[in-house]
Structure 1
């Protein structure tokens, strides 16, 4: 995949600096450059958190440690800020990157350090027998539908417990 964007890094810097000097609006600048307003907002966020050099084209992807990813995702999930605010706080270049981590985390996937492996954030689903599923569902119902506790106890994903329990409650 190519790394060359439609707008050069120097054009992005000039655009954001023009906005910061109060010479133009983000909306008008986006129209002039024929890009979506969200792109210009992303450039502004990157400029504010990483400085002008953050807008220059990188020769390789940024690497983030698993601890930073985990902390940023947890901050977002507890409502400690918007995607943009959390990206600024942790020096993450793109809100798209943070959204991807949040989706992985809530989908029970592992958040790893970039390129180095890492620690599991949540349990991944596993194969189970019918009898095992019945036992899991009964446990879940007996514990006031505490899906997270049940998933942890039986080493299955939250989604599996949720799905099995709801099927049982709907269909018997």
Structure 2
């Protein structure tokens, strides 16, 4: 995947917003593979300002329930990843695709795994894997059951929200709109 500099994104967005050139010609002019990339940048710029185009220096960990809410919204409304990301004030729509893939492959538990990698040598990685597997073995039966219960609670909450939306979509969206906006403000602080 091509990484574009923040300055380049700002330049392209401002050129589009000047109104002299459309998405397709702009993509061709700057050698950008798809006009969709420019559309995403323009939408992020309109919603978040210049900061919406900048790469995040701090990784945000979203709670599993928030991820489920995002996936549920996208499924219920049929919204695209881009529209869903804008609705939840997320600057990276591809993150939703990753969440969806994890959920389909491993269920709710897969959404609970942190993204990213640790910077360490191979030897340190092997030591850490050994420690991690021994730690998993050390979990008591009770701890395993508690973890399973928590994941099942999350899944039930997800299904309840999905059912509530299916019964009355407009009422559900209005009720939760303010909740989502207040959560996104907390995450950005």
- For the aligned pair, the TM-score class normalised by the smaller chain equals 0.5 to 0.7
- Partner residue of 2:8 out of 6, 11, 25: 11
Say what the alpha-carbon RMSD is for the aligned residues: 2.8
Separation (CA, whole Å) in 2 of partners of 1:105 and 1:91: 21
Unaligned ranges ≥5, structure 1: 124-172
Separation (CA, whole Å) in 1 of partners of 2:47 and 2:95: 14
Question: Counterpart of 2:88?
Answer: 90
Query: Displacement, 1:12?
Result: 0.7
Question: Counterpart of 1:34?
Answer: 31
Separation (CA, whole Å) in 2 of partners of 1:98 and 1:58: 16
Query: Displacement, 1:80?
Result: 4.8
Question: Counterpart of 1:112?
Answer: 112
Residues 3-26 of structure 1: per-residue CA shift (max 9 Å, x gap): x93x32122112112212312111
Query: Displacement, 1:109?
Result: 4.4
Question: Counterpart of 1:62?
Answer: 60
Query: Displacement, 1:63?
Result: 3.0
Query: Displacement, 1:57?
Result: 3.0
For the pair shown, the structure with the greater C-alpha radius of gyration is: 1
Question: Counterpart of 1:145?
Answer: none
Equivalenced residues, count: 117
Question: Counterpart of 1:47?
Answer: 45
| Structure with the higher fraction of residues in helix conformation | 2
- Does 1:78 find its partner at 2:114? no
Separation (CA, whole Å) in 2 of partners of 1:79 and 1:106: 18
Q: 55-64 vs 31-40, which deviates more?
A: 55-64
Separation (CA, whole Å) in 2 of partners of 1:65 and 1:104: 14
Residues 26-74 of structure 1: per-residue CA shift (max 9 Å, x gap): 1111112211123222222322333211212332433323232111100
Separation (CA, whole Å) in 2 of partners of 1:114 and 1:88: 23
TM-score normalised to the size of structure 1? Answer: 0.57
Unaligned ranges ≥5, structure 2: 116-149, 157-189
Asked whether the equivalents of residues 13 and 55 of structure 1 are also in contact (C-alpha less than 8 Å), the reply is: yes
Asked whether the equivalents of residues 26 and 41 of structure 1 are also in contact (C-alpha less than 8 Å), the reply is: yes
